[in-house]
Structure 1
Amino acid sequence: MNKLLLAVGVSALSPLAFSKPMIVTSISPVSMIVAAISGDRAEIQQIVSSTASPHDFALRPSDLRKINNADTVVWVGESLERFLEKPLENAGKEESSIEWLALKGVELHNFGEDGHDDHGHDDHEGHDDHEGHDDHEGHDDHEGHDDHDHDHDHEEHDDHDHEEHDDHDHEEHDDHDREELTGHEGHNHDGVDPHVWLAPENALILAQAVTMRLVYLDSDNASYYKGNLAKFEKGLEATDAEIRKSLSKVKTVPYIVFHDGYTYFEEHYGLNHVGEITVSPERKPGAKKVAELRHEIEEHNVQCVFSEPQFSPAIVKSLLDGSNVKTAPLDPLGGDIKLNQDAYFTFLNTLSGQFLKCLG
């Protein structure tokens, strides 16, 4: 009889006692940093396919289920993933989410006239340059995303909410930790360049926030998560130093990017970006812009025009028709990188290698 009661007790407790925290992420670079800290102790479910772009993404019902079942949603912010705003609000996940753009200490840039204006957290208002992201609102059509095929339904997590972790004795820290982690202070991020994952210093800040959240959700593995954060910080420092040394050889070589989304990386490593085909990927350049770009290529002796794998290279080929300027893909999302604890380092190395290959 006692054995039967014990078995029933273990069975009843198992969804809570043995399930891993479920972290839902928006895009690949976010998943990379979460994976660096979580290792094999948490489950990661990514919403935007690694081969898709967040700039024109629309959620599907399976994505909404992921959000509803998540212990925490980690995303960049509304200026990149506007499609997540309403679902997070409807699911009551706003306060428990980690919004990268709103984290304290994150270095932010605004889209300025030259795409390289540097501003702090308090100067994000009144910038209408980046209106193209307004297209993310009202996406009710969930078709056309055949490449988004990783629909891992996890109904077993339906009851796996933060309330179930009260036995971790973190009640007195809940409000404070939540404010520190999510940074939901009403920041207006209109006009902000959201590609924060391209700056190593910003990656570390997200890693710290993810560590705090996982320690809160899964205190039994607190030392594991903190140890992974220490490894990440050490690895990030070494990777950054190596990339800085290698890219110093091509710092003065002029180039044009497909869209103005590399400012964080370029300014961190001092690269010579002289133009972009478009500010927002969803906007195709007109004939006037193409003529201006051809003039810039000639005027600045541009050595390379980068395309992106998430978008058709046809415009780049058309732009360079009849010229000897090199072209190469530059992937700001790391779509081909396998997700593991070293994925973010691999991403940075791969991106720097793509620059070197075309500029060297």
Structure 2
Amino acid sequence: MNKFLFALGVSALSPLVLAKPTIVTSIKPVSMVVAAIAGDHAEIQQIVSSTASPHDFAMRPSDLRKISNADTVVWVGESLERFLEKPLKNAGKEQSSIEWLALEGMSLHNFAEEAHDDEGEGHEEHEEHEGHEGHEGHEGHEGHEEHEGHEEHEGHEEHEGHEEHEGHNHDGVDPHVWLSPDNARVLAKAVAARLVSLDVENATYYEGNLATFEKGLTAKDAEIRQALSKVSTVPYIVFHDGYSYFEQHYGLSHSGEITVSPERKPGAKKVAEIRREIEEHKVQCVFSEPQFSPAIVEILLEGSSVKTAPLDPLGGNVAMGKNAYFSFLDNLSGQFLSCLG
């Protein structure tokens, strides 16, 4: 009888013993790096849909619940996901979260000064992008409640004393850090350390995944560098100025961008300027992005023989799994090669 009661007790406790750590991530590139380390030993819950953009995202009640129940929240930082700052603070998760931009060893780039000078152009034309009204219909976003006036949306309120928020002051920093394999390595190490602290029994598993990721990243990086070296001098224009980490890492250099802030459409002056750049620099390709309407690219290239192709900085079509980040790098380099080669 005692043995039966003991077995029953162990059985009742087993869900607690076997419970996986819950890691909430902000965007898909973050999820990719986390998945490489977590494997099937942790549950990953992503906030921003793989088909949405973090630049104009609005939080929902279901997202707030994810944050509240998370063991750890992994995000890029307030300069990309400002909508997360207040919810993290309110949930008491600010100190336990992993902010990619703030990790030791990160290589950060500042946006070009001249790009910010141009940002004022087109402010009067701050229109909503097609397909971004409330993000309805985006797959992979469970519990998508209707946005009624956005009264409940955290992150759309003013942040009192925001400039005094220590550790999150990255004004002028390009937040697209996942486009650098070196920065991905930094996050992978931080995630491994956190998972080991949360799930000591599986420490060897996480450490092994980290070693595998680092070895695979070195090989993939060398492979892509060799492939892109063939198009390093081909001039192109990107949709928005968000690829500097990838471009500098692999020796590419765009001739210009359509907009600095992707949520803003460029004004007539900027459009005319880009058309001049296309002619003067003999631009071979103008890249669009699947998260935003391609209409402006079509207007720019009307009557032109310049090629265009989508460049997806978020890896929307990449299948999640331990090798997702490698697939993302493959896809992105392939998109460059398809239009520049």
TM-score range, shorter chain: 0.7 to 0.9
**Structure 2: 5+ residue runs without aligned partners?**
127-132, 145-164
> Does 2:14 correspond to 1:14?
yes
Contact persistence 2:77–2:168 (CA under 8 A)? no
Aligned partner letter, 2:174: D
1:247 positional shift: 0.3
The CA distance in 1 between the partners of 2:140 and 2:176, in whole Å, is 24
1:190 positional shift: 1.3
> Does 2:58 correspond to 1:67?
no
For residues 12-41 of structure 1, the C-alpha deviation after alignment (integer angstroms, 9 at most, x for no partner) is 533421110000000010000000001110
Decide whether aligned partners of structure 1 residues 46 and 128 sit closer, same or farther in structure 2, where only a CA change above 3 A counts.
Answer: farther
Other-structure match for 2:178: 197
Contact persistence 2:50–2:140 (CA under 8 A)? no
* TM-score between both structures, scaled by the size of structure 2: 0.87
Q: Secondary structure at the match of 1:283?
A: coil
Contact persistence 1:111–1:129 (CA under 8 A)? no
Aligned ranges 1:1-360 → 2 under 5 Å = 1-3=1-3, 5-114=5-114, 143-147=134-138, 149-151=140-142, 186-360=167-341
The CA distance in 2 between the partners of 1:231 and 1:314, in whole Å, is 42
Other-structure match for 1:123: none
Decide whether aligned partners of structure 1 residues 295 and 129 sit closer, same or farther in structure 2, where only a CA change above 3 A counts.
Answer: closer
1:2 positional shift: 2.2
1:146 positional shift: 2.9
Q: CA-atom RMSD, angstroms? A: 2.1
Aligned partner letter, 1:94: E
Decide whether aligned partners of structure 1 residues 29 and 18 sit closer, same or farther in structure 2, where only a CA change above 3 A counts.
Answer: same
For residues 126-182 of structure 1, the C-alpha deviation after alignment (integer angstroms, 9 at most, x for no partner) is x898899xx9xxxxxx944331553279xxxxxxxxxxxxxxxxxxxxxxxxxxxxx
Other-structure match for 2:149: none
Contact persistence 1:52–1:148 (CA under 8 A)? no
1:8 positional shift: 4.9
Q: Secondary structure at the match of 1:258?
A: strand
1:198 positional shift: 0.2
Contact persistence 2:78–2:168 (CA under 8 A)? no
Q: Secondary structure at the match of 1:273?
A: coil
Q: Secondary structure at the match of 1:201?
A: helix
Contact persistence 1:112–1:129 (CA under 8 A)? no
| Number of positions where the alignment pairs a residue of Structure 1 with one of Structure 2 | 311
Q: Secondary structure at the match of 1:67?
A: helix
Aligned partner letter, 2:282: N
The CA distance in 2 between the partners of 1:33 and 1:53, in whole Å, is 18
Decide whether aligned partners of structure 1 residues 143 and 2 sit closer, same or farther in structure 2, where only a CA change above 3 A counts.
Answer: farther
Q: Secondary structure at the match of 2:113?
A: coil
Other-structure match for 2:155: none
The CA distance in 2 between the partners of 1:129 and 1:21, in whole Å, is 45
Contact persistence 1:72–1:96 (CA under 8 A)? yes
Identical amino acids, percent of aligned pairs: 76
Contact persistence 1:63–1:151 (CA under 8 A)? no
The CA distance in 1 between the partners of 2:234 and 2:114, in whole Å, is 18
The CA distance in 2 between the partners of 1:128 and 1:13, in whole Å, is 60
1:357 positional shift: 0.3
Decide whether aligned partners of structure 1 residues 56 and 265 sit closer, same or farther in structure 2, where only a CA change above 3 A counts.
Answer: same
Q: Which runs of 4+ in 1 moved over 6 A?
A: 127-132
The CA distance in 2 between the partners of 1:152 and 1:220, in whole Å, is 33
Decide whether aligned partners of structure 1 residues 287 and 13 sit closer, same or farther in structure 2, where only a CA change above 3 A counts.
Answer: same
The CA distance in 2 between the partners of 1:129 and 1:324, in whole Å, is 27
Q: Secondary structure at the match of 2:254?
A: strand
1:263 positional shift: 0.3
Decide whether aligned partners of structure 1 residues 191 and 271 sit closer, same or farther in structure 2, where only a CA change above 3 A counts.
Answer: same
Contact persistence 1:129–1:191 (CA under 8 A)? no
Q: Secondary structure at the match of 1:192?
A: coil
1:324 positional shift: 0.5
Contact persistence 1:23–1:72 (CA under 8 A)? yes
The CA distance in 1 between the partners of 2:143 and 2:322, in whole Å, is 21
1:3 positional shift: 4.5
Other-structure match for 2:160: none
Q: Secondary structure at the match of 1:186?
A: coil
Q: Secondary structure at the match of 2:237?
A: strand
Aligned partner letter, 1:150: H
Q: Secondary structure at the match of 2:14?
A: helix
Decide whether aligned partners of structure 1 residues 80 and 129 sit closer, same or farther in structure 2, where only a CA change above 3 A counts.
Answer: farther
Q: Secondary structure at the match of 2:73?
A: strand
